[in-house]
Amino acid sequence: MSCIFCKIVNNEIPSSKVYEDDRVLAFRDAAPIAPTHILFVPKRHMASMAEITPGDAELIGHIFAKIADAAREEGCSDSGYRVASNCGADACQTVGHLHFHLIGGRKLTPHAG
DSSP state, residue 94: -
DSSP state, residue 48: S
From residue 23, alpha-carbon distances to 20, 60, 63, 98, 109 in Å are 8, 10, 9, 13, 32
Which listed residue (97, 99, 101, 111) is catalytic? 99
Query: Which of 80, 74, 76 minimizes the C-alpha distance to 26?
Result: 74
Query: Which of 35, 54, 49 minimizes the C-alpha distance to 100?
Result: 49
In whole angstroms, give the CA distance from residue 65 to residue 40.
Answer: 11
99 is catalytic: yes
Give me the active site residues, please.
Answer: 99
